[in-house]
Structure 1
């Protein structure tokens, strides 16, 4: 069990229990799921995942590689179009069986709470140590190479497996920045966010998952044959991670998670001399609150359908892979209206 005597200012460490691994996903209970199910009125379902080989030709993060499919093998024999027998007339089966090498956060994804930590003096000894949400520690709960047999990285705590076990079903609430701001790059402060919420008559409840449509993923899909990084960098709204009032609003709203169709939800700091965090919203959400973030979702079709019906909410099912130890996960979210 993690031990800490200090918790970060503005955090909720310990509020859900000393060993909590779910953070704000705790806000989604049976009543929240039952209420979310009331958003199903027509039985129309929408896949919110990009093809997992996008962004394809465009490199968003040089550390993350596109998926590589390969056959499984028995010895040196690949099992693709493999006949079980070429001589026995009674054995007519032909088998194909594959495997994948996949960066878990290359395309449509969840960040686990082990994705972003911070240097923080949690144990009160005057020395900042590497730790994560709720005081979980680097090299104890989140391990590197040699820390877990057979794995070069392994989150014993805070992995996507804990998220998967909750099933992540609830009310997804769409905030359509494209409809309000257009497709250009806009840095959205809390006041601007409130303007959109009011203009689109969005109701936000405890346990909701915010779905932020910015247009970024749409541009990404549309330009794959001719990728233009400069145009993409000028596309779509991003939350202003430096806006402290936005941090407080996220805390007080008691939302469960944020899923966006852009690359990082927020506008990353690019000034190398800026103090002290390159991703301050990730710090607030993942490290302080245990609020999961998701990126590169495909919200275009859902947004079109909801706008036509003058609605902004759907029943959302979006569990990550139940992959013990994983720090991120591909996801195929489904919204039903």
Structure 2
């Protein structure tokens, strides 16, 4: 068996999100103390950075004040504005569905790659199978550990994760969401090389996380894993393809890190609820930390 293939049945398309059981959610609810909420998403709009192979988000106003200036009716004085937004599903803070990356001829759990070969979107492992979960979030703050944002192409190895989690006094448990702060968004969010040479986890670190049955992995960079001169995305294949662990990319983690440091804690309740976009390979998401 490859990773988690077959673990939740031959037809499973939710992957490691199955690890967030009612018991896991009840445990996470016990972490709430102040009730303070923090969005972990980057602002999403026309100025959101996009890599060269993806168009940026665009907005069209369907109705605005200009329509009324030109004589549009306002029954009873009522006026309204509406807009349409178009954006790639992998824009800004988003989650990769299990149809996003694979190797060979099969997606996660043995679903055929041909299920993505259609204008109707992914017929297997699409974003609609990213079930919403409430679980324990664990922040691994590499900025605090190393004294500043990680330099370009810096690897976050399994030993780094293990040390960072141990220093926080936490033991990873099945169903956890592990979020890794590299400082890349803070230091390069407006730089031209944000989409190149980023620091991040290695395949070894991805394997370490998968072995601990985490349900979600996220980071404050655009691909979670380190970018090198070598081709491919090996951590994507370890987590998405072999173990069915969705990846949350382009997180904003500085405010969370500061708040947790002040409270002398490293865990929190995480609300994860992506859009159920049928057939999409990813979805915009606004993860919410509750402290």
TM-score higher than 0.5: yes
2:83 and 2:74 map into 1 onto residues whose CA distance is 26
- Number of aligned pairs? 287
Conserved in 2, the CA contact under 8 Å of 1:256 and 1:292? yes
Displaced runs of 4 or more, over 6 A: none
**Which of 186, 199, 212 matches 1:253?**
212
Sort the Cα spacing of 1:229 and 1:268 in 2 relative to 1 into closer, same or farther, 3 A: closer
1:44 aligns with 2:36: yes
Conserved in 1, the CA contact under 8 Å of 2:68 and 2:74? no
2:73 and 2:111 map into 1 onto residues whose CA distance is 58
TM-score by length of 1: 0.79
2:72 and 2:241 map into 1 onto residues whose CA distance is 61
CA deviation profile, 1:218-246 (whole Å, cap 9, x unmatched): 1244xx3xx3528x8566x41122x2xx3
Conserved in 2, the CA contact under 8 Å of 1:46 and 1:302? yes
| 1:229 alignment counterpart | 193
Q: Secondary structure at the match of 1:258?
A: strand
Give the superposed CA RMSD: 2.3
Structure richer in helix, relative to its length: 2
1:143 aligns with 2:117: yes
Gaps of at least 5 residues in structure 1 are: 1-6, 73-78, 120-129, 149-153, 273-277
| 1:115 alignment counterpart | 100
| 1:80 alignment counterpart | 64
Gaps of at least 5 residues in structure 2 are: none
| 1:167 alignment counterpart | 132
2:288 and 2:274 map into 1 onto residues whose CA distance is 12
1:328 and 1:299 map into 2 onto residues whose CA distance is 20
TM-score by length of 2: 0.91
**Which of 204, 218, 221 matches 2:186?**
218
1:19 aligns with 2:11: yes
Q: Secondary structure at the match of 2:90?
A: coil
1:87 and 1:18 map into 2 onto residues whose CA distance is 56
Shift of 1:184: 2.7
Sort the Cα spacing of 1:172 and 1:306 in 2 relative to 1 into closer, same or farther, 3 A: same
1:70 aligns with 2:70: no
1:285 and 1:333 map into 2 onto residues whose CA distance is 19
